[in-house]
Amino acid sequence: MTQKQRLGTKVDARSGAYEILQRVEEGGYADLLLDSWLNRHPGFDSRERGLLTELVYGVLRLRGRLDFALAPLCKQHLTRLEPGALRLLRLGAYQLLQLDRIPPHAAVHATVDLARRVGLDRVSGLINGVLRSLERERETINWPTPETPRPYLQHVCSLPVWLAKELMRQLSNVEALAFGAALATAAPYTLRVNSLKTDRDSYLAMLEQAGHTARPTLYAPEGVIIEQRGEGRLPGDEEGLYQVQDEASMLMAHLLGAKAGEALLDGCAAPGGKSTHLAALTDNQSRIVALDKHQHRVELIRNGASRLGCTRIEPCLWDLTETPDFVEPESLDRILLDAPCSGLGVLRRNPESRWNRTSADIAELAELQKILLARVALLLKPGGHLLYSVCTFTSRETDEVVDNFLSTHPGFVLENLQESVPELWQELLTKRGTLRSYPHRHDGMDAFFAARFKKGA
């Protein structure tokens, strides 16, 4: 009997979350799985949709915190439980610890019922006993305090040990704790208003009229943060009036400084947010070659460009570990390389990454970033500009990559961004003129790094 048959006709947020979490454990991506699940259930109640999203992202984001609360209540180590039982316990624990709007008895009952519906009747007693114990003892859990930073980061902020150590290595204890706490929260829902079709003030008025509560972003001039969704859809979806994009990501196209008529390259472009932003900033007056090495992601760029009315973007299938043979050497005015990275700055949006990444990945990704920078450097005109950006904060993927590039490419210099950004953006910049954003410092936006190089004439 399949899981779908066991679940019968009852489809709710908890059963959907169980299914998605199982597939994430098998190697899937939460955002794609959630979108796919919702597309397969188009009539799903809006409140249930909200609970489903909360459960999936919340359990993945706070897995370390949930396990700390559950471990003393189980007779055997959590890793020795069968995966389905642990999945159920985490779902129940999240509701008990994080969702005040769900009565505790309802959270326990619903999780036990879910155990039976997914064919795990044999562990329903375990689920019931552990969750009832958690319900009784949740106010007396001996959580680590900020006075013990590493345990606090690990068990309260829900970070794996290696990542807690990485934060403490790079930041003061106070900063590391604040950053870790920010990563344990949900990311803001941020849109970039498509300036090819409307402006931010007009779109904010449309949002208000449609019953949504929103405010402008602090740094990005096109950004909007949705603070409270209304009942209906966001206005302008089909018309391409907006693109879902974090504020930090929006800053990258501005930092490149592209001008109408210039030849541009977005080296690792999918899903296309930065390419389409470049198109908007140049009013569709610049040719933009947008590369990605996966065909389905090239289609994402193409579809996004069409939806947003970006007419000069040329999506191309290419693995940038090899120099593109269809782009002439030294033919491009500006290049954006938003390189593959550990993604530690966007853990709130991709919460499974905190459990899938390891410290060994960082060194491997840094080597790839060096290769990609060397490839695109060959394509830049003398006097041209190259922006390197990553959605992470590790020194190996940021400053060390920059230093390596400068030492191996003496014809390039690092530009000081302090000389070319708005006054408000100065607080985002380091002493050497690179950009570093952090969610706990900068209005909740993702952690990004950017450095701009200029090629000598």
Quick one: 129 and 157 in the same domain? no
Instruction: Look at residue 1 in the predicted model and tell me its pLDDT.
Output: 43
Residue 137: both structure tokens together: 């003892």
Structural domains in the chain (count): 3
Report, as an integer, the average pLDDT of 82-98. Answer: 97
Residue 10 lies in a domain: yes
Q: 160 lies in which domain range? A: 149-183
Comparing C-alpha atoms, which of 342, 361, 356, 354 is closest to residue 28? Answer: 356
Among candidate residues 157, 268, 341, 391, the one labeled active-site is 391
For residue 10, pLDDT over 90 is answered with no
pLDDT tens-digit readout, 134-175: 999 999 999 999 999 999 999 999 999 999 999 999 999 999
Quick one: 94 and 173 in the same domain? no
Degrees to nearest 5, angle at CA 181 with 390 and 19: 80
Residue 227 lies in a domain: no
Mean pLDDT (the chain) is 95
Label residue 11 by pLDDT band (50, 70, 90). Answer: confident
Instruction: Look at residue 7 in the predicted model and tell me its pLDDT.
Output: 46
Residue 65 lies in a domain: yes
3-state SS assignment for residue 158: coil
**Contact predicate 248/445, CB 8 Å:** yes
Residue 25 lies in a domain: yes
Report, as an integer, the average pLDDT of 403-413. Answer: 98
For residue 4, pLDDT over 80 is answered with no
Residue 196 lies in a domain: no
Quick one: 156 and 85 in the same domain? no
Quick one: 364 and 304 in the same domain? yes
- Structure letter (DSSP) for residue 155: I
Label residue 5 by pLDDT band (50, 70, 90). Answer: very low
Helix pair angle (359-377, 399-408), 10° resolution: 40
Quick one: 34 and 159 in the same domain? no
Instruction: Look at residue 47 in the predicted model and tell me its pLDDT.
Output: 81
Quick one: 19 and 96 in the same domain? yes
Instruction: Look at residue 216 in the predicted model and tell me its pLDDT.
Output: 98
Quick one: 118 and 155 in the same domain? no
Would you put residue 383 in left (φ > 0), alpha (ψ -120 to 50) or beta? Answer: left
pTM check: above 0.75: yes
CA distances from 124 to 3, 86, 88, 108, 409 (A): 16, 12, 10, 11, 62
3-state SS assignment for residue 187: coil
Label residue 380 by pLDDT band (50, 70, 90). Answer: very high
3-state SS assignment for residue 364: helix
36: CB partners within 8 A, 6+ apart: none
Please confirm, yes or no, whether 391 is among the known catalytic residues: yes
Quick one: 280 and 419 in the same domain? yes
Report, as an integer, the average pLDDT of 54-63. Answer: 97
Instruction: Look at residue 389 in the predicted model and tell me its pLDDT.
Output: 98
Question: Which residues face 387 on adjacent strands?
Answer: 336, 452
Quick one: 164 and 304 in the same domain? no
Report which of residues 42 and 318 the model is more confident about: 318
Q: What CATH number did the domain enclosing 134 receive?
A: 1.10.940.10
3-state SS assignment for residue 44: coil
3-state SS assignment for residue 88: helix
Residue 216 lies in a domain: no
